[in-house]
Structures are given as structure tokens and as C-alpha cells.
A and B are shown apart, each in its own frame.
Chain A
Amino acid sequence: MRLFPVLCGLALLAPAAAAQGGRMQPKVEIAWNRYYDHAELLAIMDRLQAAWPEFVRFVDIGESYEGRRMRVLVLANQRTGEDTGKPAMWVDGNVHGNEVQGAEAALYLAWWLLEHYADNERARKLLDTRAFYILPSQNPDGRDSWFHDPHDAHSSRTGRKPYDNDRDGLLDEDGPDDLDGDGEILSMRKKVAPGTGDYRLHPDDARILIRADREHPGDYELLGDEGLDNDGDGRVNEDGVGGYDMNRNWPSDWQPGHIQFGAGDYPLSFPETRAIAAFLLAHPNVAAVQSFHNSGGMILRGPGDQAFAYPGEDAAVYDAIGQEGELILPFYRYMIIWRDLYTVHGGFVNWTYEGLGIFSFTNELWASPQYYGGGRERPGPSDYSDGQQNEFDFNDSVLLGQAFVDWHPARHPLYGEVEIGGFKREHGRVAPSFMIEEMLHRNAMFCVRHAEEIAELEALAPKVEPLEGGLHRVTVTLVNDKTMPTRSAMAGREHIGTPDSVSLEGPDLTVLAGGVQTDRWRPERLDWQERDPARLRLERGVPGHGSATVAWIVRGRGDFTVQYVADKADDVRVTGTLPR
């Protein structure tokens, strides 16, 4: 990291504008009550760049399988230094093509900080001293397909690289079909002779099927997603476009497709994942990662597998930020992936933490209890899928029926007369239009809090003590009052990246020995370094809300400078003088 001049605080502040709440006059007006396809996202990025050219630049990191540009928005005040010299946060969304709202959340973060640089001291500090790398969509192909092709809320999770899911030598030849031509992939159901079906109509609401039982014989069958047996192999919809999961393609604990669906041929086998990995490997200044998904209202962190254990110091950092997140994000819970959700091998935030040593969260945006009053009294994840009646009430009372396509007759070549109906794709996993902005803002502010807790060092004034034989001991303490350490314990344990270093230099002195002081009362307890004592390497860095003390034994006199250099924190420098 480069060394930062101390900012001169309030003097830089523009006159306070009437720029918050309902009186805000944005420089760039963006409708935050809707979702945007890939081209529209790029256009928003262009508008931000045009309005704040000194804060926004772009890095094109590659192309998706179908050739869409993968553009990272680099957000940093270039007048206070290059982004690569600042501790940074990576924010992305939408690795699953249908989980669209993460892209808007990522761009909202950039937009809000830019709009408030002038009137908000904390926004200003972040843009001056930190960098943000924002990739709205990890999966622009899946995104665009979700917007423009027939889909439901759950389809288009994959990328668009052809994959032979049914192993018949044909690629993507049997996906769902929009039989009624309404642009939606809905469900198919069929009325059958009483007593021959597994389902019956809900007595109060014929839109809902419920399980038949002994007293209530079934007269309906559910026939899955709208679709045909396109390849005539006796199965319906078994080999659609793509058919994999790019959030299982990362190098940490990656396991092949027969162990975990959708993993891809090998880690980073997709152009999208590979481009992102190359960018992150080339940016050791990234100290925080947020990856936006949907849904369920979760603030997730690893491990993805029970076999992994995170060092206690790092778990405490996660807990502090995650628990604050639960307050910022009502309806969201802070969870551990394997323990509270399911096992994931080769997940993105697993790799960024376990592989790169970066504190990383995945937020699952939108929680169904937000739909309708009754939902909030039902705790626990299993209830989220049990709120069917709730969602119909919401559809009827709050959206006046807009979200649901009523069952209507259609003809199917195999099943004969069927009914097609169900919720449209905008219902279930993404927030409805009128609730989008709140979702974006709260999640963006969770990122802000994460970024604000990136390590920040202060070097206390050096202590100089005379020793026998004309030698001196120089002791320097580095204090970090943020939650995150300069190097995660994972990075220290696994030797990830470059260790921090602290050096002592002076024109008229020689460093004889140096190391980390392990006992503040007994200075001779020094873990001294074998070679190059003037430049100490600290594999563990400086802990969060803590300090590290180093000491040198030196011969000589005059002025000296101590400088601390870290990948993931601003450098600090302090000077002192040895007596003549």
C-alpha cells in the first residue's frame, strides 16, 4: 500500500447541500425501483463515469462465454492516489443469472458514495482512502437470458456454455418450452380421474394444489415446468441451456461434478470465473469481498464444508461484522454456509477467504417474510418455503394479482389437455419493484460498514532506550483500531500473499537485530529474525482492535524512519532520533 498524507478533514467539504432523504437532488438520476439488463448496467456505469470521471474508471477483465463485456467499475478518488495503492473492497453480484438484484445493489453502492462524497464525511473518507472494485454481474449471459428469454424465478442460474447434462452427446437440446407463448416458464398441472392423482385443489383457493390424503382423494397431477421431450428420450426438460453452477467452480475445496452438481470441468474452467480470479490474484490490495445473491435473507460466510475450520481470530471478525449486518438488514440472519444452509465446495467467497485470505460475505438478498404481515412471525428457514398462502395474499392485496398467471388450459403432445399457470419470475426471489431501493440501500450500507472496518494503522512514537556498549533499543508499537487485522489469520497460517513488513532506516545507524517483542514487560523476549533485521516480516500482521510491537537493537546515532508496509492496509511511517 502506498503511504497516505493525512487528510485535512472538513476543509475539503463542499457546502452542505440539501442532499438527503426526500430533498436529495442527485447528480445522476437512476430509477432504483427496477432491474436492468446487461447493456443497461453498462449504460449506468457510463453515466457514473461521465459524472465523476476522477472517481470512476473501468477495467475490462474479459468476456463472458457469449461475448458480453465483463467490466469492473473501479471506484476511488484518483487524486488521492492509484486504486492499487489503497486497501480495497470487491463487490459483485449475480453469479447465478437469475439472482439479478445483486447487480443493482453493487451499482447502488457506487452511486450513493459518489452522490454523497461532498456532504458525507464517511463517504468521502472511503472514496479518498479506499478503492472499490465493482463487477455488477459475474454472469451477464445468464442475466440477459433471464430478462429476455422465457424463464421462471429459478431458471437461468447457469451460464450459457453448452453442457451435456443428460450425457447423450447432444448439447442443451431439451430445455423448458414456453408452450403458451406468454414469455414465462410456468408450471403444468392436469386434472385426472378422482383417486388417481397425488394432489387436489385447495378448498379455499383453486390456484393452490395440496397433497391428497386418505380422506381426500387426489384428482390432480403436477407435471413440472412447461416443456416438451424435445429429444424424444423419454424425459422432459432434462438438458437445457448450460446446466452448471459457476459458484461451485472456484479453487477452494473444489470437487468434481459427480460429487457436487455443476462444478464445471475443473476449477476456473469458465471464462467468467477465470477472468475474475485473474483480477483478484493481481490485486492483493483487496481486503474485503461481498458477493450478492438471492434469496432468503442471509449474511453468509464460510466454511462451506464441515471439515474446514476457520481460525478463531478470523471468526471473531466475521461475527462482529455479520452481527452488525443483522441489524442493518432486518429479516436477514448471519449464517455459516455449511452449518446453516448447505455444504458448498468451490464457492466464490470460500475461495476469496480460504484461498486469498480476504474477509468475504455472501448476502442472499430478499427474504419472503418481507412479503406480507404474517410472515414475520414465522422464524426459521424451512418456513420460508411454506408461506404459499402468504404469497397469494400478497399477490392479491399488495400487487392486485400482478405476480401470478392464472391457470389456463393448454394442449401438450404427451400429456394431452393440461393447465398452465404459476408465479412469474419477478416473484419469489427478487424484491417487488416498490421495495427494491430499500433492499439495495441496506445491502450497500452493509458493504460500507465492512469496508470501514478494513485495518487502519497508527504508529506510536518510537521508544529509544540506551543499552550497554553504546547500543540502543528502538521499540515501535503499531495500533489498529479497526475490526479487521492487516492480515487474516488464514493468510498468516497458510502463507498467503506477501507478509507485512516493518523497516527501520537511518543514515548513521546499523541494525544489529530486530524482531517482534513477545512480552511488553520483558524487552529481551524478542523473536528476532534470522536475516535482514532492518526489514522485519510479519506473517501475522497487526491484529484487529489490537497492536503489535517490534524492537530493534541498533548501533549509531541520528534520525531514523520506521515504515510499516502492508498489502491490505495503508502504509504508516514514524520517525525518531537516536542521541548523539
Chain B
Amino acid sequence: MLVPFRSILVPAVLALPPGVGQDPALEAPVAPETPESPAPAVQEPAPSGYLAPDEVLEHLRSLREQGRMDWIRLAVTAEARELGVAAFGERALPGRPAILVVADPAGDRPAATAVALALCEALAEGGSPLLERATVYVAPLANPDAAARAFAGLAPRRGAAVDEDRDGLLDEDGPDDLDGDDLLLQMRVPDPTGDWRAAEADARALVRAQRDKGEAGAYRLLPEGRDDDRDRAYNEDDLGGADWDGNWPHRYRAHVPASGPYPLSEAETRALAEFVLGHPHLALVIVLGAEDNLSKPPEAGDDRSAKATKPLAEDAKLLALWSERWLKDAKNKPRSGERGAGGFAEWAYFQAGLPVVQSAVWSPPLDASASAGKDGEKEGDATEDGAGKKNDGAGKKDDKDVPDEVKLLRWNDQALGGAGFVPWRKFQHPDLGEVEIGGWKPLALHNPPAGELPALAEQWRARLESLAEDLPRLSWAKVEVRELGDGVLEARATLVNSGLLASMSEMGSVTNRPRPLRVLLELPEGGALLAGERIQSVERLGGSGGNREYRWLYALKPGSAPAQLRALSDTAGEALVVLEVNR
């Protein structure tokens, strides 16, 4: 299903405003022969063994056609793909707590999609104890168009064309596959004013020159491409517009083209927002994507404003607990990508008020000198991806000064047999003169060899199943009913949540979005409330035995049925007790 990206580019070229083709400066360049370097072989951008996004959709279609899962169609994308949510247990368990898994928001994590698809298959098998307690929703391909573009080797963007460089032309200067290998790689351009230099340990690796330590730069680093519109900027007006994960209302960055024209302007994001807001039974959201709050759980904060970035204390504790439980034996501790503004996960937490777990699913090990078989257990704390970042010292002593980029290249050489990184090759660039083209293949740094996927999927299946125990669960305890004479009764009871999760997140009690749980005293015909409240609401009942005591005085007619006590919650189910007199 690999779509050669040239064919994808055609519509964008056609979309240029009239007159563009007449500008001689914009006519397509002809890459000259490069005597220094033989023509490279055509290569696939994605690690082999992955399903293309359209194959994933086909797979999901067959699962639902077999009647093994429900499918909620949320939107149809600009490129006519379906954005949908697989639903398990929804029809059998209306009113029960629900979990939503959202995979690959940015479109460049086919590993996240593969894990989510495997979860769908496991849940479709039936017999999951989790489905006896909860409904599970899985959006395996949250951003299908971007995923398809990324899988074909393009920048994973989506949406309508935007004139990023404000020259009146749309999408006229994106990256170009200059050397004809079907990959959009990087160019390193010899330039004494550049910010980059080759690492001592590995000349393939570029690290930032630290001028304050006397290091001079030697290269400029650019995406592979020409200055198609001749404005001395390279690849500054790429295909597409909004980034899916920058289009959400929390910390939305206005007037940034990648944010989209306004929050939730895109069909995909708005449809998912409506889905989340329309499902009050959601108790937890799991996002498999670029960011991670499990490997290195975030510290708590107290900011409740529109600029907040840190979870509130109670919610941070929960993440720390899951981090401890879930990653204790994990071989791979994924490193978080840089936390972006305007993302889905922050919206789901800070505005929808839901607990949100984020996992980057997998990161290439930085255990540089280890063999390929030993995964990165000794790696340092989670750091951002990116070339040249120094290891923070937690690794082996010898490796202390080895830049991450060099370690990643060792991993590439040992574990991938060099397949993730295209060695730099000289190329005679029509605008820049002699440059080198090479670097990481687009998806190589975020997605493991396909052989590692089943173990990752099994890990996530087990984590998901363990949530059956963690979801909030209500019961009544210490129920005491005393007769005071003349038909007057005094009732006391304690409502207990025996799950790990509170009835809503701490942030939920700030946002007022999740509904409070309600405690109802139901008196039979002729009964009269003498003291107490007939309806009470509890904003948030803590987890792990969180409880609250209630009392009432009421009178019943002789011979009437006993009163009942009912607690109702969107996320914790229902608890009912008949108020029989204690004898």
C-alpha cells in the first residue's frame, strides 16, 4: 500500500493559484548527475513489516463486518478516510465506566496504531474480564490522513493548504526528494556559520556546536529540498496546514499556521472532542503517541488556569503509581517527545477533566555499547528525541560524554543492521552547491522493528486488563438503621469507593465537566423525611477506600416497605442498599 509520494504531491501542485506555473523561477529543477555518489536505491520510509494506514482501516472493517466489535464513525477525512472508534462492551454495559484509547495523534507513530489494533483484536476475541466492568473505546488511527502521508514518507500534516510564508502561493515550497531515493531526508550543508558539527565519536552524527565552549559550527542542517519559490528559505511552505495535535483548545496558539484557523477547526479533532464530551462515562483516556507521562511521571502543579501544564497533586500521584506498576518490568521505557501546546491530551485533562495516561510506546535504546538484544534498561531519564542531546549521565560511565545521536547510530548499526539511517552522500545541489543528503529515515526513531510489536501489544493488553481492578467502584458500608419509635427511623451509611481511581480526577472537580455522583434517599409511598437531604451530590469520592458518611431521620407508615439508598455515578456505577432495621 505504499503510495509513492510524488503522486500525492500532484493535487497540491494543481491547487496552486493561477499564474504560478508561469513563473520561470518556479519550474521544477532537474537534479544534476552527481559524480561523487552513485544514484541511491529507492527505499521505503517506514520500518518494514508494518501495516499501512489504509491496510489498518481495511483490517478494522473486516473485524466489524465479522460482528466482533462495534464501530462508531466520527468523521470522514479530507482524503476520504474514516476516522472511527472501535467500541467493545458498549451495548452490553450501558452506564458502566468507559476507557478510551487514542492512538497516533500526530500520524508518525505506526507502532501506536499497531498496538491499538492488537488491543482491538484481543478485545474482539471476547472473554476479557475488563469488559465485565467497563466499555472500552479504541481509536486506532486518530489522524488517518497524516498517518498515510507519514507512511508514504511525507511530513505528517493534514488539513487545508496554508500559505506559511505569506507570499500568495500555497504549499509551493515543501521538501523535495532530490536524489530520487523516495525518501525525504536531511541535507547537511557545509557552512562555517552553521549550528552543527560532526561528533568526534561518529562523523555521521551531527551535534550542536557549543560556541561558548570554543566549538565552531561546520554545517547547516536542512530538510532535503530546493528553494522551490526562490525566496532564500528552504521548504518553508510545506504541504497541508493544521497539526492534529496543535488544534485543541487548551493552550491553543493563535496565529500559528500549524494550529489551524481556530481550535477544533478540523473535522477529525472536532469529532473526537464531541465524542469525548458526549460520553460522560469515560473514566480514563490513554493516548499512545509522541508524549509520555509514564516513564517519567510529571511533577504536580497547582495552576488551574488556562495556561496550566502540570497535573494536580492527586492526579499526579495516580500517574506515579501506574508508572511504578506498569514500567517496573518493562524492557523499554519510552522517552517523551517535547510537550506541545494545543494538544489532545492536555485538553482531555485540563478541560474535559479526565485522567489521561500518555505513552510514547517505544523509544530506541540509548544503551550505546550494549548488544542489540539488551534493551535500554540502563538508559538515562527520559529526554526528548533529537540529535546531539547529551546523555544526562545516568548511563554507563564510559558513555557519559557520548552524545545521544551517536548512541542512536550504534543502535541503528547493531539492532537494525543500519536500516534506519541513510549514510550521508554527496550531492550537487542546484541552489546550494555541494551538500550531503542522508540521515534518519522519517519513522525510524519512533517505531521499533516490527518484530518487537507483539511484545509491546501484549504489555498494553495486560495493562488495560489490570484497569478492571483500578476503575472506581461504589459500595455501601456500615449501614445502620435504628427505630426511634412512632415509626421514626434513623439511618446512617457510608459510601465507599474501593477502586484505585477516584470517581473523577482532581482536575475534573475543577473543570465541572464530569458530573458529581448523587446519593438518593428513596422513601416508599407515605414516607416522610424529617431531617437530612433527599438528594445529595458528591463532587469527588477519592479512590482506595475513599468514603463519606450520611445520615437521615425519616418516618414510615406502619407496614410500608423499607426505604432505599441509592448512589449513582457515571464512572463508578451504581450502589443500592435496602434500609432494613438492624436487629
Are A234 and B262 in contact, CB atoms less than 8 angstroms apart?
Answer: no
Which residues of chain A from 342 to 375 have a CB within 8 Å of any chain B CB? 345, 354-355
Task: Kindly state whether residue B58 has any CB partner on chain A within 8 Å.
Answer: no
Decide yes or no: A258 and B534 within 8 Å by CB, A168-B518, A537-B166, A537-B168 being known contacts.
no
Decide yes or no: A168 and B273 within 8 Å by CB, A251-B254, A532-B23 being known contacts.
no
Chain A 322-354: CB-based contact to B (< 8 A → 1; otherwise 0): 000000000000000000000001000000001
Which of A68-76, A117-125, A384-392, A490-498 binds B? Answer: A490-498
Task: Kindly state whether residue A460 has any CB partner on chain B within 8 Å.
Answer: no
A231 (CB) vs chain B CBs: closest residue: B535
Are B249 and A256 in contact, CB atoms less than 8 angstroms apart?
Answer: yes
Task: Kindly state whether residue A77 has any CB partner on chain B within 8 Å.
Answer: no
Chain A 254-284: CB-based contact to B (< 8 A → 1; otherwise 0): 1111110000011110000000010001000
Of A164, A252, A265, A532, which contacts B167 at CB under 8 A?
A532
Q: Total interface residues on B, using CB and 8 Å?
A: 34
Task: Kindly state whether residue A514 has any CB partner on chain B within 8 Å.
Answer: no
Are B535 and A167 in contact, CB atoms less than 8 angstroms apart?
Answer: no
Of A232, A277, A537, which contacts B262 at CB under 8 A?
A277
Decide yes or no: A252 and B306 within 8 Å by CB, A168-B515, A258-B510, A266-B249 being known contacts.
no
Distance from A279 Cβ to chain B, minimum over Cβ atoms (Å): 14
Task: Kindly state whether residue B537 has any CB partner on chain A within 8 Å.
Answer: yes
Are A255 and B306 in contact, CB atoms less than 8 angstroms apart?
Answer: yes
Decide yes or no: A257 and B512 within 8 Å by CB, A495-B166, A499-B166, A539-B166 being known contacts.
yes
Which residues of chain B from 259 to 307 have a CB within 8 Å of any chain A CB? 261-264, 270, 273, 277, 305-306
| Distance in angstroms between the alpha carbons of A418 and B342 in the assembled complex | 52
| Distance in angstroms between the alpha carbons of A354 and B534 in the assembled complex | 49
Q: Total interface residues on A, using CB and 8 Å?
A: 36
| Distance in angstroms between the alpha carbons of A455 and B136 in the assembled complex | 57
Chain A 444-464: CB-based contact to B (< 8 A → 1; otherwise 0): 000000000000000000000
Task: Kindly state whether residue A501 has any CB partner on chain B within 8 Å.
Answer: yes
Of B305, B535, B537, which contacts A259 at CB under 8 A?
B305
B249 (CB) vs chain A CBs: closest residue: A266
Task: Kindly state whether residue A169 has any CB partner on chain B within 8 Å.
Answer: yes
Chain A residues in 8 Å Cβ range of B232: 530-531
| Distance in angstroms between the alpha carbons of A219 and B510 in the assembled complex | 39
Decide yes or no: A281 and B166 within 8 Å by CB, A256-B351, A531-B231 being known contacts.
no
Task: Kindly state whether residue B463 has any CB partner on chain A within 8 Å.
Answer: no
Of B230, B512, B533, which contacts A234 at CB under 8 A?
B533
Distance from B73 Cβ to chain A, minimum over Cβ atoms (Å): 20
Are B535 and A233 in contact, CB atoms less than 8 angstroms apart?
Answer: yes
Chain B 159-171: CB-based contact to A (< 8 A → 1; otherwise 0): 0000000111000
Are A496 and B535 in contact, CB atoms less than 8 angstroms apart?
Answer: no
Are A281 and B261 in contact, CB atoms less than 8 angstroms apart?
Answer: yes
| Distance in angstroms between the alpha carbons of A496 and B257 in the assembled complex | 10
A-B contact count (CB 8 A): 84
Are A256 and B306 in contact, CB atoms less than 8 angstroms apart?
Answer: yes
Chain A residues in 8 Å Cβ range of B351: 256, 266
| Distance in angstroms between the alpha carbons of A354 and B252 in the assembled complex | 14
Chain A residues in 8 Å Cβ range of B211: none
Decide yes or no: A254 and B249 within 8 Å by CB, A168-B518, A281-B261 being known contacts.
yes
Distance from B253 Cβ to chain A, minimum over Cβ atoms (Å): 11
Task: Kindly state whether residue B243 has any CB partner on chain A within 8 Å.
Answer: no
Chain B 16-47: CB-based contact to A (< 8 A → 1; otherwise 0): 00000001010000000000000000000000
Distance from B286 Cβ to chain A, minimum over Cβ atoms (Å): 22
| Distance in angstroms between the alpha carbons of A531 and B236 in the assembled complex | 14
Task: Kindly state whether residue B255 has any CB partner on chain A within 8 Å.
Answer: yes
Of B230, B255, B273, which contacts A495 at CB under 8 A?
B255
Of B231, B252, B533, B537, which contacts A530 at CB under 8 A?
B231
Of A234, A265, A345, A496, which contacts B277 at CB under 8 A?
A265
B233 (CB) vs chain A CBs: closest residue: A530
B270 (CB) vs chain A CBs: closest residue: A266
| Distance in angstroms between the alpha carbons of A251 and B259 in the assembled complex | 12
| Distance in angstroms between the alpha carbons of A167 and B518 in the assembled complex | 10
Chain B residues in 8 Å Cβ range of A169: 515, 518
Chain B residues in 8 Å Cβ range of A496: 255
B25 (CB) vs chain A CBs: closest residue: A531
Decide yes or no: A266 and B515 within 8 Å by CB, A251-B254, A251-B262, A537-B166 being known contacts.
no
Are A265 and B273 in contact, CB atoms less than 8 angstroms apart?
Answer: yes
Chain A 44-72: CB-based contact to B (< 8 A → 1; otherwise 0): 00000000000000000000000000000
Decide yes or no: A167 and B262 within 8 Å by CB, A232-B535, A254-B249, A531-B229 being known contacts.
no
B262 (CB) vs chain A CBs: closest residue: A251
| Distance in angstroms between the alpha carbons of A258 and B308 in the assembled complex | 13
Distance from A173 Cβ to chain B, minimum over Cβ atoms (Å): 13
| Distance in angstroms between the alpha carbons of A495 and B256 in the assembled complex | 9
Are B264 and A267 in contact, CB atoms less than 8 angstroms apart?
Answer: yes
Task: Kindly state whether residue B511 has any CB partner on chain A within 8 Å.
Answer: yes
Are A267 and B263 in contact, CB atoms less than 8 angstroms apart?
Answer: yes
Decide yes or no: A494 and B515 within 8 Å by CB, A232-B535, A254-B263, A259-B306 being known contacts.
no
Chain B residues in 8 Å Cβ range of A355: 254, 262
Distance from B572 Cβ to chain A, minimum over Cβ atoms (Å): 14
Task: Kindly state whether residue B246 has any CB partner on chain A within 8 Å.
Answer: no
Chain B 211-230: CB-based contact to A (< 8 A → 1; otherwise 0): 00000000000000000011
Chain A residues in 8 Å Cβ range of B535: 168, 232-234
Distance from B409 Cβ to chain A, minimum over Cβ atoms (Å): 37
| Distance in angstroms between the alpha carbons of A378 and B215 in the assembled complex | 71
Are B263 and A266 in contact, CB atoms less than 8 angstroms apart?
Answer: yes
Decide yes or no: A167 and B516 within 8 Å by CB, A258-B511, A266-B249, A531-B230 being known contacts.
yes
Distance from B345 Cβ to chain A, minimum over Cβ atoms (Å): 16
Distance from A577 Cβ to chain B, minimum over Cβ atoms (Å): 25
Chain A residues in 8 Å Cβ range of B255: 494-496
Decide yes or no: A252 and B23 within 8 Å by CB, A355-B262, A537-B166 being known contacts.
no
B539 (CB) vs chain A CBs: closest residue: A167
Chain A residues in 8 Å Cβ range of B513: 257-258
Are A494 and B254 in contact, CB atoms less than 8 angstroms apart?
Answer: yes
Which residues of chain A from 473 to 509 have a CB within 8 Å of any chain B CB? 494-496, 498-499, 501
Question: Which of A232, A254, A277, A345 has the largest count of B CB atoms less than 10 A from its CB?
Answer: A254
Which residues of chain B from 162 to 190 have a CB within 8 Å of any chain A CB? 166-168
| Distance in angstroms between the alpha carbons of A354 and B273 in the assembled complex | 25
Distance from A308 Cβ to chain B, minimum over Cβ atoms (Å): 11
Chain A residues in 8 Å Cβ range of B510: 258
A497 (CB) vs chain B CBs: closest residue: B166
Chain A residues in 8 Å Cβ range of B229: 531
| Distance in angstroms between the alpha carbons of A11 and B231 in the assembled complex | 50
Of A167, A251, A495, A530, which contacts B263 at CB under 8 A?
A251
Which residues of chain B from 529 to 546 have a CB within 8 Å of any chain A CB? 533-535, 537
Distance from B21 Cβ to chain A, minimum over Cβ atoms (Å): 14
Decide yes or no: A167 and B515 within 8 Å by CB, A233-B535, A258-B510, A531-B229 being known contacts.
yes
Chain A residues in 8 Å Cβ range of B23: 532
| Distance in angstroms between the alpha carbons of A522 and B233 in the assembled complex | 29
B570 (CB) vs chain A CBs: closest residue: A169
| Distance in angstroms between the alpha carbons of A267 and B252 in the assembled complex | 11
Which residues of chain B from 347 to 362 have a CB within 8 Å of any chain A CB? 351
Distance from B571 Cβ to chain A, minimum over Cβ atoms (Å): 13
Distance from B333 Cβ to chain A, minimum over Cβ atoms (Å): 33
In order of increasing CB-CB distance, the 3 nearest A-B pairs are: A251-B262, A494-B255, A531-B231
13 extra interface residue pairs, beta carbon distance < 8 Å, beyond A234-B535, A256-B351, A355-B262: A168-B535, A234-B534, A251-B252, A256-B306, A257-B511, A258-B511, A258-B512, A266-B351, A267-B249, A268-B264, A494-B254, A494-B255, A535-B168
Binding site for A on B (CB under 8 A): 23, 25, 166-168, 229-232, 249, 252, 254-255, 261-264, 270, 273, 277, 305-306, 351, 510-513, 515-516, 518, 533-535, 537
- Sampled A-B contacts (18; CB under 8 Å): A234-B534, A251-B263, A254-B249, A256-B249, A256-B511, A257-B512, A258-B512, A265-B273, A266-B264, A277-B262, A355-B254, A355-B262, A494-B254, A495-B255, A496-B255, A530-B232, A537-B167, A537-B168
